[in-house]
Amino acid sequence: MGVVALSGAMRRFDASFVERYRRRRALEDFAAAADAGSGASLRATSRQGESGGGALVQPPAKVRVLGVDTSLRCTGLAIVDSVGSDVRFVDARPIPNGPRKSIPECLVSIADTLERYIEEFRPDEVAMEGIFFCKNPRTALVLGHARGVVVLGCARHGLVPSEYPPTRVKRAVTGGGSATKDQMQRMMQRMFGLPDLPQEDAADALAIAVTHCHDRRIAAMASNYGGIR
């Protein structure tokens, strides 16, 4: 009886160990794929845990994400839908503010356009480029004005932006942190099968939204596999 009981315990241990190993590898592969910029081609498989963990938490069927690349003269806006493991293009456009517009006029333009954009597309979440170092104090101040308008506009709709550093966004969609504007545009065109090259600020906004979708899926995977040692 003792030998039989020990054999059963060993089988349960082996099954638990193998399942934990498979889950750990799945999470590592998923994170690596996201950082390599696999974008809309990512696929994730969830399973019922054999070690008593119960059903894994599933992300919502669809989450609409607004990406914002903030700038006084040309803020980029983009909308994508995160559906399961896919990221689907919905819209991307810039908010151009010509050089003759004063700073207050530019801020009003950003605020009004963002308001209409949110009302039109009804995003569930927002992502924007995080604060980065500026050598020119005036440039930093002006960018701060534009960021404040975007954050306030989102807050009026109950949306709190998630922020991502520029290098993180570039690494997520191209695999490297020093991608050029042209490379970002071409990657977004290729990822979503767009007929034309997106405007550069709109392409950056798309990339920010894609990065957010990657990170939220990785967070969901980490939550599911949170018990792994």
Q: Bridge partners of 101?
A: none
196 is catalytic: no
112 is catalytic: no
Task: Please state whether 131 falls in left (phi above 0), alpha (psi between -120 and 50) or beta.
Answer: beta
Give the sheet arrangement for strand 74-83, strand by strand: 86-96, 74-83, 62-69, 125-129, 162-164
Closest CA to 85 of 25, 41, 116, 51: 41
81 is catalytic: no
From residue 88, give the alpha-carbon distance in Å to each of 3, 70, 82, 121, 216: 56, 22, 6, 14, 15
Determine the Cα–Cα distance for residues 21 and 229; give it in Å rounded to an integer.
9
DSSP 8-state assignment for residue 79: E
Determine the Cα–Cα distance for residues 164 and 40; give it in Å rounded to an integer.
19
Q: Which of 81, 200, 201, 204 is catalytic?
A: 201
Q: Which of 125, 129, 200, 204 is catalytic?
A: 129
Q: Which of 69, 81, 200, 204 is catalytic?
A: 69
Residue 166 CA, chain-centre distance (Å), reads 12
Catalytic residues: 69, 129, 201
